[in-house]
């Protein structure tokens, strides 16, 4: 059972454009939703995260939008740059649990053309 569904699998945008990656989850116990960025040959690194008590969180060019009723959240990258080219993973966690198990989406390979 895939608990976090991520789309699209790959995305190509032009420099300066907006990149949008979507995720949907099933487990209503999830209450922490991070996004990770992974460059080739590196491990994933936390980019931005949100909790469901807010509908939007912005950090620089990166924004998470969260729709609790639809059980969906998305990552928007404004003014996309070639340096943003990477694989992006959404994830979800039940922080009230006694263990630390992030459930990841399958990733989106973003390519930003110069």
Q: Count residues contacting other proteins (CB under 8 A)?
A: 26
Among 14, 53, 83, 101, binds other proteins (CB under 8 A): 101
Could you tell me the smallest distance in angstroms from the CB atom of residue 14 to other proteins? 26
Segment contacting other proteins (CB under 8 A): 17-25, 58-66, 73-81, 104-112? Answer: 104-112
Which residue from 46, 55, 78, 113 is in contact with other proteins, where contact means CB under 8 A? 46
Q: Rounded distance, CA 42 to CA 37, Å?
A: 10
Q: Determine which residue in the list 45, 59, 68, 78 makes contact with other proteins, applying CB under 8 A.
A: 45
Contact call for residue 73 and other proteins (CB under 8 A):
no
Examine residue 40 and tell whether it contacts other proteins (CB under 8 A).
Answer: no
């Amino acid at each position: 059972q895939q608990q976090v569904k991520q789309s699209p699998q790959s995305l190509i945008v032009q420099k300066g454009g907006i990149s949008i990656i979507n995720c949907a989850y099933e487990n209503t116990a999830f209450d922490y939703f991070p996004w990770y960025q992974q460059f080739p040959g590196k491990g994933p690194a936390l980019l931005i995260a949100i909790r469901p008590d807010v509908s939007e969180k912005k950090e620089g060019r990166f924004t998470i939008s969260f729709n609790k009723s639809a059980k969906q959240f998305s990552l928007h990258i404004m003014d996309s740059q070639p340096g943003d080219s990477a694989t992006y993973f959404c994830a979800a966690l039940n922080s009230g649990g006694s263990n630390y198990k992030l459930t990841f989406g399958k990733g989106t390979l973003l390519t930003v053309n110069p």
